[in-house]
Amino acid sequence: MFSGDPMELSKTLKYGEKLGLDELEIFVHITDVIDVEGELGEISKTNKAKETDIFVRGIVDKRVGFGFTNDMRFLNDTVKKVYSSARANKKDKNWQDLPEVRKYHDIEEYDPEIEKMSVEEVIDTCQEIIDLTPEGITPAFCDARREIGEKYCINTNGIEIAERGTWNAAYSYLVGKTKTGVTPGCLGIEITRRKNLDLEKIVSSAADDVKLSKNLKKAGSGLKDVIIHPYALEDLLCYTLLTSILGENVVRGKSFLKGKIGSQVFSEKLTMTDDPLYKNGVSTMKFDFEGVPAERTSLIKDGILENFLWNDYWAKIAGKRSTGNAYRNILKGTVETKPTNIVIEEGNDIIFDIKEGYYVKGFQGAHSSNPESGEFSVVCNPGFKVENGEITGGCIFMISGNIYDLLKNIEEIGREKITGTNIISPLIRFKVHTATK
């Protein structure tokens, strides 16, 4: 299951104890990627990378030290550095202990067919995306990728667990010329855990958006019906609601949702779960980045706030149990909290059944939202006009408001879930303020 040497790693635990560390955790993350890039209708570059990231966390007398290395041979040296950085650190009175052993769900998203994919096969996939692009539309960028990942976690509290996973992904980013310039860049993307990419769908969804965008329509200002696609919604939620739903931000007084568990905070049409066990989900996993079992967490049920997401450290401070949402930032080495697959339940409604409104597949500037207040002001691009239930052309406009008000004012939720990258959601229709010149 794990291509590294578990014996060597458990020896390192003993080495850490000998050095004087009270606790020690080693987390190994191995990725093996073949990635093929296309540019302007031609294959431009093929990339291959195999990377091993080893994160070490050690504790002496409630002082925490962190270390990182790319090379198993330097593991003992890294543990030594962790020991000295822990001793140099200040005592963290909130520190309790590393995660303890819990039962894991029997889940694995691994497809040997993806592992077997050759460089030539990934190149062929990228070429097929280019070839599928209709005449008159520029295949500006495209990409095909196969990835194998391995995770392994061992700590002095008894955790020792490994898992592997596979990903197959492709995207097509298309642009069309207009009389005055270019259409917005339109994206078709799919990330799957099995070898079953639908290349035609990836390209046609982007190409259809380009064709619609060529017919530029005027947008109006005021309180309007706006249908938001999961591609756009996930961007907006990521920088607003999903930061407030993290337990650490609640404890730190940075979350608008503090004290609201059990309250009707959102529209009763909204039910949202963090589901790391979702079949074929991009973030489906057996355990998180500190070895805690991944589990389903109901966040919002019929508009009532039910839970926050926790990693082990912040959960223990709040007297809760980790929800298995720890995440390691490779660059910083930090143990953060992160949602996995965010799943929004279907409604019953015909979402486009409106006389006049808008449809949005991408937001510009979602990252400039104010995560604490939930205020956002973003450009809808690509955006489309809806007239008498039909999408009739492209238009660019702004929407602004507060995410909490937005999620209170859900008009309708569609009948069918669509898989974005980190969110699986139907189309959702909101009433929201639009602004144009």
Partner 1 sequence: MEEVIRKGIELGEKLNSDYCEIRVENIDLTYISLIDGRIDTLNQRTELGAAIRILKDGAWGFVSCNIEDTEKGVKDAFSLAKNSAKRRKSKIELAEVKPVQENVIKKLEKPPKSVPVSTKIERMIDLYNKFKKYDPRIKAVSISYRDGEGKRYLFTNEGMELIQDVCHVWNYCWVTGKKNQLLTSARDEIGSVSRGFEYFDGEPNEEIVRRTGKRVMMQLEGKEVGKGSFECVLGPRVVGVLAHEALGHLSEADLTVNSSFDGKIGEIVATEDIRINMVDDIVPNGFGNYKYDEEGVKAKKVEIIKNSVLNGLLTNREYAKKTEMPLTGSARAEDWRSSPIIRMRNTYFEKGDFEEEELFEGIKHGYYCVDFRGGQAELNSSFQVGIQEGYEIINGEIGDPIKNASISGMAIEALKYITGVGKKLSFENGRCGKGQEAFVSSGGPKMRFKKGAIVFG
- Chain residues 163-182 in contact with partner 1, contact rule CB under 8 A: 175, 181-182
Q: Which token pair is 152?
A: 């392994």
The CB-of-238 to partner 1 minimum distance in angstroms stands at 13
Buried b (16+ CB within 10 A) or exposed e, 29-51: bbbbbbbbebeeeebeeeeeeee
Per-residue 3-state assignment (H helix, E strand, C coil) for 324-383:
CCEEECCCCCCEEECCCCEEECCCCECCCCCCEEEEECCEECHHHCECCCCEEEEEECCE
Instruction: Give the torsion sign (CA, 108, 113, 118, 121).
Output: negative
Name residues contacting partner 1, limited to 283-312 (CB under 8 A).
Answer: none
Complex with partner 1: residue 121 or 208, whichever CB lies closer: 121
**Does the footprint of partner 1 cover residue 371 (CB under 8 A)?**
yes
Residue 66 lies near partner 1 (rule: CB under 8 A): yes
Q: What's the CA gap between 99 and 86, in Å, rounded?
A: 18
Residues 70-109, interacting with partner 1 (CB under 8 A): 70-71, 81, 85, 88-90, 92, 94
Query: Hey, is 194 helix, strand or coil?
Result: coil
Question: How many residues bind partner 1, per CB under 8 A?
Answer: 73
Per-residue b or e along 113-141, where b marks 16 or more CB atoms closer than 10 Å to that residue's CB = ebeebeeeebbebbbbbbebbeeebbbbb
373 binds partner 1 (CB under 8 A): yes
CB of 127 to partner 1, least distance (A): 5
Taking CB under 8 A as the binding criterion, the range among 100-108, 156-164, 363-371, 384-392 that sits at the site for partner 1 is 363-371
Task: Tell me if 287 sits within 8 A of 340, measured CB to CB.
Answer: no
8 Å CB contact between 142 and 130 = yes
Task: Report the distance separating Cα 238 and Cα 245, nearest Å.
Answer: 10
Q: Which is nearer to partner 1, 115 or 336 (CB)?
A: 336
Q: Which is nearer to partner 1, 213 or 271 (CB)?
A: 213
Per CB under 8 A, the list member of 6, 149, 220, 365 interacting with partner 1 is 365
Footprint (CB under 8 A) of partner 1, residues 255-274: 255-256
Return d(Cα 324, Cα 316) in angstroms, integer. 13
**Which of 2, 6, 43, 417 is close enough to bind partner 1 by CB under 8 A?**
43
Could you tell me which of 386, 384, 399, 385 has the C-alpha nearest to residue 433? 399
- Contact between 221 and 407 under an 8 Å Cβ cutoff? The reply is no
Which CB sits closer to partner 1, 66 or 278? Answer: 66
Closer to partner 1 at the Cβ: 254 or 296? 254
Q: Which of 3, 44, 196, 388 binds partner 1 (CB under 8 A)?
A: 44
Nearer to partner 1, 296 or 433 (CB): 433
Does residue 116 touch partner 1 according to CB under 8 A? no
- CB–CB of 215/227 below 8 Å? no
The minimum distance between CB 382 and partner 1, in angstroms, equals 9
In this complex, which beta carbon is closest to partner 1, that of residue 76 or of residue 364? 364
Distance CA 276, CA 286 (A): 8
What's the min distance (Å) between Cβ of 260 and partner 1?
11
x/- letters, 118..157, toward partner 1 (CB under 8 A): -xx--x---x----------x-x-----------------
> Would you count residue 11 as binding partner 1 (CB under 8 A)?
no
x/- track of binding to partner 1 for residues 415-434 (CB under 8 A)? ------------------x-
**Piece of the chain touching partner 1 by CB under 8 A; list 200-208, 265-273, 287-295, 327-335:** 327-335
Contact region with partner 1 (CB under 8 A), list: 1-9, 290-298, 374-382, 415-423 = 374-382
* Residue 103 or 437 with smaller CB distance to partner 1: 437
Which CB sits closer to partner 1, 6 or 333?
333
The closest alpha carbon to 282, from 145, 429, 141, belongs to: 145
Instruction: Answer for the pair 274, 325: CB distance below 8 angstroms, yes or no.
Output: yes
Q: What is the nearest approach in angstroms of partner 1 to the Cβ of residue 236?
A: 12
Among the listed residues 10, 96, 264, 370, the single contact to partner 1 using CB under 8 A: 370
| Residue number with CB closer to partner 1 (10 or 118) | 118
Q: How far apart are CA 301 and CA 267, in angstroms?
A: 10
Here the tokens at position 109 are 């998203």
User: Quick one: CA torsion of 86, 88, 91, 94, rounded to 10 degrees?
Assistant: -40
Window of 104-112, 116-124, 301-309, 351-359 that interacts with partner 1 by CB under 8 A: 116-124
